Amino acid sequence: MFDLSGKTALVTGSGRGIGLVLARGLARAGARVALNDLDGDRIAPAREELRREGHETGAAAFDVTDSAAVREGLDRLEREFAPLDILINNAGIHRRAPLAEMPVEDWRLVIDTNLTSAFLVGQRAARGMIARGGGKIINICSLNCELPRPGIGNYSAAKGGLVLLTRSMTVEWARHNIQVNGIAPGYILTEMTRPLSEDPERNAWIVGRTPAGRWGRPEDLIGAAVFLASEASAFVNGQMIFVDGGMRVAL
């Protein structure tokens, strides 16, 4: 039920970090995986790394916030690599500032990258999935979609919107045998969150606030991703799986 052999997946923002780890996880479950990043130079070493492990890997360098680039990028990918069965909308950034001081440019950049991109790539991918009779879309959300903290109002708003976009995609596309679900990571140790882990006070708060007593690792997200990408989740629609060490349910 969890075998992805014969399936083709695209993971956005997969030149490094969580995206690359998820791509590797799907590949190890049998999928052909296409890596995406704005920077083609970043994809090349990641792609070679997966190829050395014996995985069939493609590359799709395009701007996920640009509708024309998304259309051209996916057209080329499906023509030269394979039609998509699985899409993971993972691309995301942070631009931290208090809301009262946040530049509107930082607001728009985070909303476009973390939310609008999922609509653009999801819309284009879904059209092909509908024509072929089904598919899987997984949106990478965040614990902060429900539990914001100071300085990340743009990020929380984008991820909260992504939760509702996931549900909206479900009510429109489930009848086409497309399962759309989300994964909401808690505090995962990555390059983007490293400043928090290196701040003794914040690190102590995060570890103490998490019932599991530790930071998450990108690899902790692979199981949920493989489940949602596989036939094991054939009747799972519009759900959010929190991978957060229990933080969401603890006082």
Distance CA 24, CA 19 (A): 9
* 155 annotated active-site: yes
Tell me: the pLDDT tens digits for 63-96?
A: 999 999 999 999 999 999 999 999 999 999 999 9
The kind and range of the H/E element at 5 are: none
Q: What are the angstrom distances between the C-alpha of 132 and each of 63, 85, 129, 145, 210?
A: 25, 9, 5, 32, 42
- 184 - beta bridge partners? 242
Q: Are 78 and 128 in contact (CB under 8 A)?
A: yes
The proportion of the chain whose per-residue pLDDT surpasses 90, expressed as a percent, equals: 96
Q: What is the pLDDT of residue 228?
A: 99
Tell me: the pLDDT tens digits for 106-154?
A: 999 999 999 999 999 999 999 999 999 999 999 999 999 999 999 999 9
In the set 62, 119, 155, 215, the catalytic residue is: 155
* pLDDT band at 60; cut points 50, 70, 90: very high
Mean pLDDT of the chain: 97
Tell me: the pLDDT tens digits for 183-242?
A: 999 999 998 899 999 999 999 999 999 999 999 999 999 999 999 999 999 999 999 999
Asked whether the predicted pLDDT for residue 48 surpasses 90, the reply is yes
* pLDDT band at 30; cut points 50, 70, 90: very high
- Record the pTM: 0.97
The Cβ of residue 151 has, within 10 Å, a number of other Cβ atoms equal to 16
Domain annotation for the chain: domains and CATH numbers:
8-243 (3.40.50.720)
Q: What is the pLDDT of residue 100?
A: 98
Residues 6+ apart with CB under 8 A from 214: 207, 245
Q: Are 187 and 193 in contact (CB under 8 A)?
A: yes
Distance CA 94, CA 210 (A): 22
